[in-house]
Amino acid sequence: MHTLSKTDPEIAQALENELVREREGLEMIPSENVVSRAVLEALGSVGTNKYSEGFPGKRYYGGNACIDVIENLARERAKTLFGVTHANVQPYSGSPANMAACFALLEPGDKLMGLNLTYGGHLTHGWKVNFSGVYYQAVQYVTSPDGWIDYDALAKQVLEEKPKLLFVGATAYPRIFEWEKLQTIARSVDAYLVADIAHIAGLVVGGAHPSPVGFADVITTTTHKTLRGPRGAMILCNGEPSEPMKAPPEKSRKYLPTMIDRAVFPGLQGGPHNHQTAAIAVALKEAAAPEFKTYAHQIVKNAKALAEALTERGFNLVTGGTDNHLLLADLTNKSIGGADAERALDKAGITVNKNTVPNDPRKPYDPSGIRLGTPPLTTRGMKEEDMRVIAGWMDEAIKNWKNEEVLTHIRHQVKELTDRFPLYPGLSYLSANR
């Protein structure tokens, strides 16, 4: 059997370079994580060879007995882990999952509400150039100037706008979501509440963040952030057992499982990515292990330690800190923009991403802030004392962002730290026996 290094040495070298980058650097983008070797193995499996349009037991192709086992395991593990009666594990990623939720619950032109992208929301929650802002009447809500969701202001806006769907979830919100309040707000106008927990799903199942189950009508999530799985997504809900090959008699909360399944297929997608489903199933099994709860709480402990150490060094954190896995730093008082800070930290071996902050006067491609988080560092085994060291390096790098010598020196220190936390020992894309 030909190995990758023999068949395509250019791709093998690029992957090897990426492996080295991840091994020797500090991945601190909060929407990223590091999967297990078992997840990697499932993702690179023969599941990719099979076409499986439809659902277990009801496929449009033959030869799916083994795939049905895989998908049923993923669905049952998701249902048990999150405490819901229905799980669809076929969405290709988070954006298609949110598209499917809209397709299931809304008609074209219906009104939806979501958190404004520049205030920490997501493209698929009604941003003007996204499908959610083009095919639906989208209204955006914002945080208060200090970055907190103002639930009273949101309740007033919902009563005025009367949306049919309220999206709650974020890409850059460092605080807890109060699901009971949000359910009350949505129900005040009989709107569907869709909880997009892509960022916090691992914290939810690990008991480090309140669960939206029982409050949200539909829950969407990616599987590759705090849940520590492959790139993919799931849609969760409660209701009558799904009959995706039959249209429900009406759109109602009672028939949410069927509405969701029909939206995913045949509404938006063809055959699911079976190798991805297998890897999701593996990640869900890992997340059900007792040690995952310890891991989820350590993510938050690390984020709080990092927030405290950065605050001591004069960093202005949006909302003043964090309750979850991420921090949003406003660098206005550091006399540097987010784009320059991202580049400087990258040279120092620390990967973050530039990000807008509430009421940001700068443009999105050169915003005032950076977004950073602790899931990948926690996965590698780092603890609070390591976060304090990292905060010092970040401060030094931003103070000396034009000094290549200083940034290179920090990079060497970063490598000394990462060497203590090996990543995928023995793995190589250039070896014939990887």
Catalytic residues: 51, 53, 196, 222, 225, 231
Written as six digits, the tokens of 411 are 């990079």
Sequence-ordered strand ranges (E) for 116-263: 137-141, 165-168, 192-196, 218-222, 233-237
Name the nearest CA neighbour of 424 among 27, 6, 40. Answer: 40
241: CB partners within 8 A, 6+ apart: 85, 86, 257
**Size of the chain in residues:** 434
User: Coil, helix or strand for 379?
Assistant: helix
The residue whose two tokens read 């602790």 is 374
Distance CA 138, CA 126 (A): 5
Written as six digits, the tokens of 303 are 């984020």
Distance CA 334, CA 140 (A): 30
**Is 178 in contact with 155 (CB distance < 8 Å)?**
no
DSSP string, 58-107: EESSS--HHHHHHHHHHHHHHHHHHT-SEEE---SSHHHHHHHHHHHH--
Name the nearest CA neighbour of 280 among 60, 57, 45, 101. Answer: 45
Helix (H) or strand (E) holding 54: strand 54-55
CA R_g for the chain: 22
**Is 318 in contact with 330 (CB distance < 8 Å)?**
yes
